[in-house]
Amino acid sequence: MARATQKAREFRQREQAILDCAQELFIEYGEDKVTVEMIADKVGIGKGTIYKHFETKNEIYLLLMIRYEEVLADLFRRIDISQDKQSLVREYFTFRVRDADQYLLFDRLESKLVADKVVPALMEKLHAIRAANFEKLCAMVSGQIKAGKLADVPPQYHIAAAWALAHGASALTKSSFYADFIGEQEPFLDFLLNVAVRMGNKRVLGMSS
């Protein structure tokens, strides 16, 4: 029993190592240029071992995206917007923007995987996690609207606006033109974060109670 447990633990650890190395390679070289052989070499295992864990690169893509959404779900569990809306906005914005390469990688993969209709079971799992995250966010935002703290518009407007700001910030940080145009990145991101915290507030939009 102990030996079987140890083997299972080693299997899970190796699987995480494969995912971690694959993500690093996808970001560094672009997912289309990365081969299974490259991933195996980086992990320090044989190519055949990769296939003991994953059937295709698409499966690796989706498992990385699922892991990302699960981390986001954990963030929502830890923060109660009814007590501190600013903490949620700050954590959400920072989560999306702090590793723009990772965020933009998953954004590219989303379009490819949806178009190709690959690994439907994993895609369904990804969408289920995302839907649960969205449902929780809507409930949080609705509570703030009822409390008179946010503009009285559909909750999804607030969520989409926050996503759009984070998405744009991620893209800007990776644009050489805009990087030169904006200058030092940290002050700019701090400015955007402050915009995100105020965005959608009822008083900011000039709406009376």
What would the pLDDT profile of 156-173 be if each residue is shown by its tens digit?
999 899 889 999 999 988
Other C-beta atoms closer than 10 Å to the C-beta of 172 total 19
Q: Give the pLDDT confidence score for residue 76 in this predicted structure.
A: 80
If pLDDT is split at 50, 70 and 90, which confidence band does 30 have? very high
> What residue type is 197 in one-letter code?
V
Segment 39-59, tens digit of pLDDT: 999 999 999 999 999 999 999
> Would the CATH topology of 1-54 be identical to that of 56-209?
no
Distance CA 200, CA 202 (A): 6
Q: Give the pLDDT confidence score for residue 137 in this predicted structure.
A: 85
Q: Give the pLDDT confidence score for residue 84 in this predicted structure.
A: 62
Q: Residue 150: beta bridge partners?
A: 201
Whether residue 205 has pLDDT greater than 80: no
Q: Longest C-alpha distance within the chain, in Å? A: 66
Helical segments of the chain, H only: 2-29, 36-43, 47-53, 57-78, 85-97, 100-116, 120-146, 155-173, 176-182, 185-198
Q: Residue 201: beta bridge partners?
A: 150
- Only one residue has tokens 């995987």, namely 113
Q: Give the pLDDT confidence score for residue 32 in this predicted structure.
A: 93
> May I ask the CATH architecture of the domain 1-54?
Orthogonal Bundle (1.10)
If pLDDT is split at 50, 70 and 90, which confidence band does 203 have? low
- Lowest model confidence (mean pLDDT) among 23-27, 127-131, 199-203: 199-203
Q: Which CATH superfamily is domain 56-209 in?
A: Tetracycline Repressor, domain 2 (1.10.357.10)
Whether residue 195 has pLDDT greater than 70: yes
Domain ranges of the chain: 1-54, 56-209
